[in-house]
Amino acid sequence: MNAPVSVSERLNATGTANALELRGVSKLFGALAALQDINISVKPGERRAVLGSNGAGKTTLFNCITGDFLATSGSIRFFGEDISAFPPHERIRRGLRRTYQISLLFTGLSVRDNIYLSCVGVSRSRFSFLRPRRNDALVAAADNLVDMVHLSDERDTIVSNLSYGQQRQLEIAVALAGAPRFILFDEPAAGLSPTERRELVEILNGLPGHMGYIIIEHDMDVALRVAESVTMMHNGQIFKEGKPAEIEEDPEVQALYLGGVDG
Amino acid sequence: MAVIEDKIGAVAIEPKTWFERIPAAYWLVGFVLLVMPTFASNFVLFQIFGWTFILGIIALSLMFLGGYGGMVSMAQMTIAGCAGYMIAIFGSSAITGISMGWPWFVAIPFALIIAVLLGTLIGWLAVRTEGIYTIMITLAIAAAFFYFTRQNYVIFNGFSGFNGVLPPQLFGVDWRGPIAFYYLTLFWAALCYFAVLYISRAPFGLALQGVRDNQRRMSALGYNATAHRVAAYAFAALLAGIGGILLTWQSAQISPGTAGIGPAIDILVVAVIGGMRHPIGAFIGAFIYVILKTFALDALVALGLSGERFQLLIGLGFLVIVFWSPDGILGLWEKWKESRNKDPLVDRGGDAP
Ligand SMILES: Nc1ncnc2c1ncn2[C@@H]1O[C@H](COP(=O)(O)OP(=O)(O)OP(=O)(O)O)[C@@H](O)[C@H]1O
Ligand SMILES: [Mg+2]
């Protein structure tokens, strides 16, 4: 436990390290390079939008960060710690979370139980043989999260009976369980109505300031309201990085993306 | 295996006292089982129900792995057999040259610990595989155990195994007497049954069902799927170990044949016939199996057929069940309930909103 700690490790521990640091990350699917030499640094608390056309490699980027896939090469650091070789659950336990482009919820469970399972997953009661008591801290935490994503009226609803928009909100609550340090949102606004989009923006802007995230978002309007920096991806590569205003005005970006690849 | 997410149940936060939550059927079955010795013969108590409860416990260990974990292990009878051997070796038997004669309160825990260790080891090997490969590897382990015990004379006394393995004479009761043995097995069967039922809604059981339904999702929630599966094998081994000790006491002997390939398959048959969706299926399956095994022979002979046909009968029953209801007798029961609930006007379940 008390092994000598290098200066850089100590600095990392005190929070000067980047929340997320990708160096030369590539991912090959056979001959297809879904990611090519990706370098990204995201500071703690920073909120970043990733934009890019279909098949640009955005979801693959998330999968490599969370360990759903192992990157073919390159290194991934999370708050200074090299997590490149960790299995997904080890990365999650360090405070990383994600949502999925296509919801992966337990559709036979209620809203609260879905969130409860995610609270248990990052707690020590994972292997508990005892059922939760009425005053269980994790049950209370789950209830709080239900309120946080505006699902209080649906607390006991079975997930398969929720509307699509509500399921997307639940995905967010699941990702918020257990005090995450950094979250990856994969197109949380896709398929939502304008009202639901507004609600989503509200939820994201209401997150505690220290909680950074990357959000994949096709809708430039939503992206600009919830992120302070933007990364553009194309064909598995990073094509531009900057402040939202710069990106919007960049002629190359306009030609490639805003020009109307995606409605 | 198909994704059957609707099977994982709700986290129970009990609104009523435990007393009020017990369904009426439990009171009824519990009462009948408790007063059974007042009217049932010794043969029925010892041979039919004693054996049903024991087989039920071992099948329950498979139900726990298969139903909640999606892992079909053919080695549960092997673990039961291991516990049986250990109780003979640590405790007393007619083979005084090998049995160590430890008192029961040392021998039983040690036998169970060894069974759990074996189960954990088997789990550790088996969780790396899936579906048919899990069945193959656990079946291979069962075969290896069978041949090993048959050839090893130093520890397992080879072909003949151990006889004279008796339960302790606790409180001055002969626990192998029909009534005492009936209550002994009933007690452990009920305890194992309720333990499985309880754990299925505790974080460990819920997570196990989550891993079965969607492993990737569970990993993304911070669960270590492999560790959860191995832990499930360890818990299932405890159940199988309890069953194995009782089984050895019932027949007062343990030999390689007790945990051979045949019995290993029988446990699978029992679990499948009953249904793996609910712990009660293990005991329903065990009861049917025991009834068939006890009476089919006489029935066949009475009909002028060879008694050898018993296996054929079991096999046919198995085929029929698997063909009509992959969820066993429980599945049939549920289908019947559903059809009864159907509203003829709107043609859907009566419970629907
Ligand atoms: N598991 C996989 N196996 C093989 N190829 C894959 C796999 N996952 C993604 N790909 C390929 O990698 C490329 C990038 O896919 P990815 O899902 O990352 O795109 P995306 O930017 O998320 O697109 P979208 O906007 O449609 O979600 C695509 O060409 C895709 O076909
Ligand atoms: Mg995608």
Dump pLDDT digits (tens) for B124-162.
Answer: 999 888 888 888 999 999 999 999 999 988 888 888 888
What residue owns the CA closest to ligand 1's atom 5? A29
Radius of gyration of the CA atoms of chain A, in A: 19
Between B6, B202, B220, which is nearest A128 by CB? B202
Using the predicted structure, report yes or no on whether residue A140 has a pLDDT greater than 90.
Answer: no
Question: Is residue A86 helix, strand or coil?
Answer: coil
pLDDT in tens, A10-63: 444 545 688 898 998 999 988 888 898 989 999 888 999 998 888 888 999 999
Question: B122: pLDDT confidence band, cut at 50, 70 and 90?
Answer: very high
Per-residue pLDDT, A3: 47
pLDDT at A88: 92
Asked if residue A63 has its Cβ within 6 Å of ligand 1, the reply is no
Percent of chain B whose pLDDT exceeds 90: 37
Contact assignment for A121 to B228 by CB distance below 8 Å: no
Longest C-alpha distance within chain B, in Å? 74
> What is the three-class DSSP state of A38?
strand
Question: What tokens appear for B112 in the block?
Answer: 């169970």
Enumerate the domain spans of chain B.
52-325
For the segment B252-263, what is each residue's pLDDT rounded down to a tens digit? 899 998 988 889
Q: A32-42 and A237-242 as β-strands: parallel, antiparallel, unpaired? A: unpaired
Q: Is the CB of A58 under 6 A from ligand 1?
A: yes
Among A246-250, B52-56, B303-307, name the one with the lowest average pLDDT: B303-307
**DSSP assignment of A127-157:** G--SPPPTT-HHHHHHHHHHHHTT-GGGTT-
Q: Which two tokens stand for residue A154?
A: 């649906």
- Residue nearest atom 29 of ligand 1, based on CA coordinates: A55
With contacts defined as CB-CB under 8 Å, which chain A residues touch B204? 126-129
The residues, ordered by sequence, that sit 6+ positions from A88 with a Cβ below 8 Å of its Cβ are A66, A67, A68, B216, B219, B220
Dist. CA B24 → ligand 1 center (Å): 54
Amino acid at A87: P
Atom number in ligand 1 closest to CA A218: 25
Candidates B3, B8, B11, partner chain A, best to mutate (most A CBs within 10 A): B11
Q: Do B221 and A132 touch (CB under 8 A)?
A: no
Query: Tokens 């382990």, residue?
Result: B141
Q: How confident is the model at residue B344 (pLDDT cuts 50, 70, 90)?
A: low
Q: Does A128 touch chain B (CB under 8 A)?
A: yes
Contact A106 B5 (CB under 8 A): yes
Rg (CA), chain B: 21
Distance in Å, CA A102 to ligand 1 centroid: 13
Q: Is ligand 1 within 6 A of the CB of residue A36?
A: no
Chain B residues within 8 A of A122 when measuring between CB atoms: 221-222
Nearest-CA distance from A252 to chain B in Å?
36
Query: Quick one: which of B311, B61, B291, B26 has its CA closest to B192?
Result: B61
Ligand 1 and A176: CB distance under 6 A: no
Q: Are B285 and B275 in contact (CB under 8 A)?
A: yes
State whether the beta carbon of A65 lies less than 6 angstroms from ligand 1. no
Helices and strands (H, E) in chain A, number of each type = 10, 10
Contacting residues for A213 by C-beta, under 8 A, at least 6 apart? A47, A48, A182, A183, A184, A185, A204, A207
> Do the Cβ atoms of B201 and B12 come closer than 8 Å?
yes
Q: Residue B51's closest CA among B311, B307, B294?
A: B294
Tell whether ligand 1 has an atom less than 6 A from the beta carbon of residue A50: no
Residues 233-252 in A contacting B (C-alpha not used; CB under 8 Å):
none
Any ligand 1 atom below 6 A from CB of A178: no
**Residue A75 in 3-state DSSP?**
strand
Nearest CA in chain A to B209: A106
Burial class (CB in 10 A: 0-12, 13-18, 19+), B2: exposed
Mapping DSSP to helix (H, G, I), strand (E, B) and coil, where does residue B138 land? helix
Mutate to test the pocket of ligand 1, among A27, A36, A50, A58 (most ligand atoms within 8 A of CB): A58
Length reported for chain A: 263
Of the pLDDT bands very low, low, confident and very high (cuts 50, 70, 90), residue B50 is: very high
Q: Could you tell me how far CA A39 lies from the centroid of its own chain?
A: 18
| pTM to 2 decimal places | 0.82
Reported as a single tens digit per residue, the pLDDT across B75-106 is: 999 999 999 999 999 988 877 778 778 888 88
Residues A244 and A223: their CA atoms lie apart, in Å, by 9
A-B C-beta contacts closer than 8 Å: 109
